[in-house]
Amino acid sequence: MKLCPRCHTGKIELKKVVYVQWQDPDTVIVDRIPAMVCDNCGEKTYDLQALENLQQLLWTTLTPPPRPSSRSSSPAGKR
């Protein structure tokens, strides 16, 4: 196991933790996100791939779908 980069005394290990993110005015709470956690000071370093997957999921759910274009295209060959 590695020593904690913050307190330099604790050992870090992989655990599943609760992740909280505030997106005004909402709060997103996700259980069981992988993170490296120090057994002494509790410092958490979240798994980058898990956070990227979560962000993609949040953006696809929170972002409205694109609107169809109001332009109409003319049929090919006609002007």
Residue 72 lies inside a defined structural domain of this protein: no
pLDDT, tens digit (0-9, with 9 covering 90-100), for 40-55: 999 999 999 999 998 8
Q: Tell me, what CATH number does 25's domain have? A: 3.10.20.860
pLDDT tens for 22-79 read: 877 888 899 999 999 999 999 999 999 999 998 888 777 655 666 776 665 555 555 5
Which residues contact residue 8 at a Cβ distance below 8 angstroms, ignoring those fewer than 6 apart? none
Contact criterion met (CB below 8 Å) for 27 and 42: no
Provide the domain limits for residue 11.
2-52
Residue 78 forms part of a structural domain: no
Residue 33 lies in a domain: yes
In a domain, 62, yes or no: no
Neighbours of 65 (CB within 10 A): 6
